[in-house]
């Protein structure tokens, strides 16, 4: 019997409107009623990840920032893996040399040097998903994040490390020039002690080598006394690969990259058609046999 389920958010649990469908909510509740622990595993920071989950009433642990931070159902932090000064500077040097814009994620917020560049990233992501973005709505969303303090504007990323209590957890880079992105990925991957992945075309997510979804999920399973053969993970992009590789029941979305479908034991429906719900019911029924 399956005992633990981990699901990615963007492109997986969430639809294009960044909402959890009723079908997905009911499937998670059904799994929980059977005593199965369901974990959210995302590249998002907690304050971004909790926004679409809170309205559903679901109580779940979180693997955030690709595994750099793990929180329990009460939102208490139980594990972190941050980037030290040397690794942070190494990342910045590569991205600056390649002239790639990036944001810095910490344990207390997200930092940007240019909100207008953030707007351009949102617009590009929306277009990738086949949407016609509402520029003013997105601009207002960015301004709201600045006002509530979840997005912080600095004139130089050097200052982030000087702020008391701030730990660098992840750097998220984005550029429409895929040659630059691929070149930077290759350079960063070779530099050592870094986990380099992607959650969308044209982006790079960089964390400490110990901050990966697969490692975080394995830690949670060990704490619960669950063997990895009894764990299911579902995702759509490269930052989900590490967890699909270590579980007994790897599931790829229909909209997933070919690299994930190649290692999946089951390919479910798309995120627009509640593919997570269909995967949960399928794997539960399969493991009951």
Q: Is 76 exposed, middle or buried (0-12, 13-18, 19+ CB in 10 A)?
A: exposed
Find the helix or strand (DSSP H, E) in which 183 lies: helix 178-190
- CA 208, CA 197: separation in Å to the nearest integer? 11
DSSP state of 199: S
Q: Two tokens at 94? A: 């590569």
For 64, the 3-state DSSP assignment is: strand
Q: Give 3-state DSSP helix, strand, coil % of the chain, rounded to 5.
A: 45, 20, 30
Q: Report the C-alpha dihedral over residues 62, 63, 66, 69, rounded to 10 degrees.
A: 100
Question: Which residue of the set 8, 118, 175, 236 is catalytic?
Answer: 8
Verify whether residue 8 is a known catalytic residue: yes
DSSP state of 123: H
- Residues with catalytic annotation? 8
């Amino acid at each position: 019997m399956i005992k633990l389920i981990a699901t990615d958010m963007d492109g997986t649990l969430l639809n294009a409107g960044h909402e959890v469908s009723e079908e997905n909510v009911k499937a998670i509740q059904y799994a929980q009623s059977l005593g199965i622990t369901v974990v959210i595993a995302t590249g998002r920071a907690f304050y971004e990840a909790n926004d679409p989950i809170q309205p559903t009433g679901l109580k779940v642990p979180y693997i955030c920032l690709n595994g750099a931070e793990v929180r329990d159902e009460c939102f208490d932090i139980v594990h972190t893996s941050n980037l030290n000064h040397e690794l942070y500077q190494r990342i910045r040097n590569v991205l600056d040399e390649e002239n790639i814009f990036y944001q810095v994620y910490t344990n207390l917020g997200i930092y940007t040097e240019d909100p207008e560049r953030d707007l351009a990233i949102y617009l590009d992501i929306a277009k990738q998903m086949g949407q016609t973005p509402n520029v003013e709505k997105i601009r207002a969303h960015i301004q709201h994040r600045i006002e509530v303090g979840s997005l912080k504007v600095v004139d130089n990323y050097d200052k982030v490390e000087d702020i008391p209590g701030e730990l660098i957890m992840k750097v998220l880079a984005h550029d429409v020039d895929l040659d630059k992105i691929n070149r930077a990925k290759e350079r960063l991957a070779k530099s050592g002690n870094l986990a380099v992945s992607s959650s969308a075309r044209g982006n790079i997510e960089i964390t400490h080598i110990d901050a990966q979804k697969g490692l975080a999920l394995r830690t949670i399973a060990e704490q619960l006394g669950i063997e990895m053969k009894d764990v299911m993970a579902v995702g759509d992009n490269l930052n989900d690969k590490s967890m699909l590789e270590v579980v007994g029941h790897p599931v790829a979305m229909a909209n997933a990259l070919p690299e994930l479908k190649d290692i999946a034991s089951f390919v479910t429906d798309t995120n627009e058609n509640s593919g997570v719900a269909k995967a949960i019911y399928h794997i539960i029924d399969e493991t009951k046999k």
